[in-house]
Structure 1
């Protein structure tokens, strides 16, 4: 017989500029659904921590590096960055007002509350592709976690971010020697080639083994000095 925990409870549902976003509780887990597509939940967070740590390690001890995190999600990347005193300013770009609200005054504050109170943290409500093409700020690392990967985007418009032109915008906000780190639910050899063609160097992929199926990965590239 099913229990009450077998049926997800919808905590909030909103229509945003890019479609429907939903916050659900499923047992002890909180889940974000966008346009009917499962994005992420609070079950783990290892791959989000890998995303942030891989970017920091690739900076080779650069002092007080500034990081731009693309996508607030359930808050694991932000919380992990905030927990490391090596990071300087931490900027998060999130296009969905609902997600920001869920962190500031909703159930996801349990994950990100301390990070949001960190004076290094700044939340920007914007589309990431627009932001990287328009901002005057520069960063030492850019950590992208706004889709299920370059080959599996939440909306069709996001695909442009992983093109050669979109990666040029990413490179634009990176300081010389800065690192781009992109989370993906599966490896993408084609995206590795696009990183090389967009001018990034030291391109590589780090895997995060999972219990079943293909591993989560982080694609990394360095902007030339």
Structure 2
């Protein structure tokens, strides 16, 4: 059993989670849980609700903070050439919606595509509690939601449908994948597919629950330049990070 990531909330007897939905999908089990607040039918909430997504028993993310998910979008935009007009961004992983909401809240972005392989996660945003985070973003005319597996989608359109930025957050990072299939994203083949999906000068941004010098080197080996890592401190443990790299002009 994997240890709890540094970004997971501290647990206590008073914080026992309430399971709101549990689905078995093609990649295993996904669960939506709530901490605090008040489940439907209860009394007055004592604290704001925090929603968590659990995949195959592993904590993925929750709505308690979101700073590093927002950094994923902000850092990618800041790394683009200043003269890039209405850049297109592909967000890999809808998650709890912070990254999508950040992108939709920034008028400089043009097209916004978000890829999510779990139908359950899409449903929780469209008609569930996570709509509080993403409703406005999903309704934005720039936004397109794609129900598909990220790596397959990247490989299928290599050299055709391109983006100025790829902002990827599909698990806990290159050194700690939630499902085995996600390893392929960080492989030479997966990084080559990312590079081919970028416009010249485009930016790849990858979220991780911990720094990874090995992944930085893998990005360089894949032909990316300007490789660097931005950190976001967390309450305990190592910082969340965003790995950044640029495709050559």
Question: Shorter-normalised TM-score: what interval?
Answer: over 0.9
Alpha-carbon contact 2:29-2:56 (below 8 Å) kept = yes
Aligned equivalents of 1:150 and 1:101: distance in 2? Answer: 27
TM alignment of 1:1-225, pairs within 5 A: 6-27=15-36, 28-61=49-82, 62-135=84-157, 136-225=160-249
Q: Please report how far the alpha carbon of residue 138 of structure 1 lies from its aligned counterpart in structure 2 after TM superposition.
A: 0.7
Aligned equivalents of 2:135 and 2:161: distance in 1? Answer: 25
Larger radius of gyration: 2
Aligned equivalents of 2:22 and 2:219: distance in 1? Answer: 36
Q: C-alpha offsets along residues 37-87 of structure 1, whole Å, 9 cap, x if unaligned?
A: 000000001001111000000003211000000000000000000000000
Aligned equivalents of 1:7 and 1:150: distance in 2? Answer: 30
Comparing 192-201 with 211-220, greater Cα deviation is found at 211-220
Contiguous gaps of at least 5 residues in structure 2: 1-11, 37-48
Q: Please report how far the alpha carbon of residue 213 of structure 1 lies from its aligned counterpart in structure 2 after TM superposition.
A: 1.3
Contiguous gaps of at least 5 residues in structure 1: none
Q: Please report how far the alpha carbon of residue 100 of structure 1 lies from its aligned counterpart in structure 2 after TM superposition.
A: 0.3
Alpha-carbon contact 2:18-2:35 (below 8 Å) kept = yes
Q: C-alpha offsets along residues 83-105 of structure 1, whole Å, 9 cap, x if unaligned?
A: 00000010000000000000011
Which 4+ residue blocks in structure 1 deviate beyond 6 angstroms?
A: none
Q: If the length of structure 1 is used for normalisation, what is the TM-score?
A: 0.97
Q: If the length of structure 2 is used for normalisation, what is the TM-score?
A: 0.88
Aligned equivalents of 1:65 and 1:197: distance in 2? Answer: 26
How many residue pairs get aligned? The number is 223
Task: Give the superposed CA RMSD.
Answer: 1.0
Q: Please report how far the alpha carbon of residue 6 of structure 1 lies from its aligned counterpart in structure 2 after TM superposition.
A: 2.1
Q: Secondary structure at the match of 2:171?
A: coil
